[in-house]
Amino acid sequence: MKNLRSFLIGMTMVAVVSDYLLHPFYPQFFEARFGVTNPKVVGYYFAAICFMVMLAFPFWAYVSKKVAELRILVYTQLVAGILALYCFWTTSYEHFWIASLVMICFKGSYLLVYPYILKIIRPDQHTRTIGILSVVVHLGGIMGAVIGGLVVDFINPAYIFLVMAAGDFIQMLMSIYLLKSTRFNTTKPEIPEEALTNKPPLIPNGFVLKIGLITLVLYFSDFLIRPFFSRYWEAISLYDSKLVSGFVYAIPGFVAVFALWLSWKHTPSNNQRYRGISIALMLGMVGLFLQASSIEAIVLLGRVVYGWAIFQGMVRFDALLFQLSTPESYAIDYSKIHFFQNLGVLLASFSVGFVVDAQGLQMPFWVALIGFGVSFTAYYWVFRGQMKQNAINASEETGQSPDKPMVSPEKPEEPLVVNA
């Protein structure tokens, strides 16, 4: 399964690069391609994209209960590639909106690969694999930002959709290869008979609802600072270059790579999972405060701190979901959580244009800071019981009282390292 996992992670990288090409440059793209300069339009478009993904991914998750994930990808990525070519060709603003949003609907099926990978590996490999996938998303963001910046700076922005189409067709061919190859076992894992009778409810409840609502606020806060970050950087920086803006935008991706490397050196304890999320959310607030300073060096430091925090927080929330879920429900539960997360992105996309238009490019950081504070408070309130139980379990393992510091007389307490 290890080779299959690596192949699927590689396929995810192709999908993410294709998906992130325009993310930092939507304001520049709409201005260069259609002459649209109203920041609200960018917000509307982001909101429309999120709405399509919100509807599409749960649909593909339910389809995957009847049809193998890789077979779905063969057809959906073919359609997405054709629509990307149409977006390259058309000069109609209205036709572009329609075609690109339908393309997103089909392109979003690649998210099925994520729960599929976790379904074919052992549970003790989940946290590390989620960390790898998170880094893949960040690296894809880096590559997408760099390639997108080069295309916007030196070529016609429309050519970005040719690169997107190439990515979709590559995913289609990789899926066909996996289905035809005898090297990999791509059959669906056996589902226990009792699991078939205990179907998850359509409306989320319990841990799915709790994690969903908390991450809704978290993703709202995170994505609120994204659409206009390159504009913000160009306004405070001496370097008026889309390529430099793309690199600064992608700093959290470089931090995520370092965080993943560090996680290979220090294996996290299950008893630290809940505490690690709290620390990540607090660091995220610090990073947002620094980025709102409008001073280049401090903004760069803020990107580093924020990149570390958002990587740790999102990885641990996903690991918590798959820890509480069951393999036969991975795709469905993840699609429900993804719905909440995309609802947060949708609200952020719908709001960011109004926020920037009314209060300027700095205000999204302050609103996001409040959002992180809400996420931290809600998380601590909802999971405080589990956090106390983890402390008790840890104390029982070491033979000490949970009220006393867990430091052995021979070895001083090591500083806490938040790992993926």
Give the residue from 164, 161, 184 showing the smallest Cα distance to 172. Answer: 164
Tell me how many degrees the CA angle 97-101-102 measures, rounded to the nearest 5.
120
Give a yes or no: residue 203 inside a domain: yes
* Sequence-distant (≥ 6) Cβ neighbours of residue 384 within 8 angstroms: none
Give a yes or no: residue 415 inside a domain: no
Instruction: Report pLDDT digits (tens) over 15-44.
Output: 888 888 877 677 777 877 788 777 777 778
pLDDT given for residue 221 in this prediction: 94
pLDDT given for residue 274 in this prediction: 56
pLDDT given for residue 264 in this prediction: 65
pLDDT given for residue 365 in this prediction: 94
Give a yes or no: residue 100 inside a domain: yes
190 band by pLDDT with thresholds 50, 70 and 90: very low
Average pLDDT over residues 308-321: 85
318 band by pLDDT with thresholds 50, 70 and 90: confident
Give a yes or no: residue 381 inside a domain: yes
Instruction: Report pLDDT digits (tens) over 231-283.
Output: 888 888 877 677 788 788 878 878 877 877 776 655 555 445 556 888 899 99
* Domain count along the chain: 1
Give a yes or no: residue 407 inside a domain: no
- Is residue 312 within 8 A of residue 282, CB to CB? The reply is no
Give a yes or no: residue 134 inside a domain: yes
288 band by pLDDT with thresholds 50, 70 and 90: very high
Give a yes or no: residue 174 inside a domain: yes
Q: Which residue has the higher pLDDT, 391 or 6?
A: 6
- Is residue 139 within 8 A of residue 251, CB to CB? The reply is no
Give a yes or no: residue 262 inside a domain: yes
Judge whether residue 49 has pLDDT over 60.
yes
CATH classification at residue 49: 1.20.1250.20
- In three-state secondary structure terms, 236 is helix
The pTM for the full model equals 0.67
How many angstroms separate the CA atoms of 204 and 201, rounded?
A: 6
Could you tell me the residue range of the domain that residue 297 belongs to? 2-184+198-398
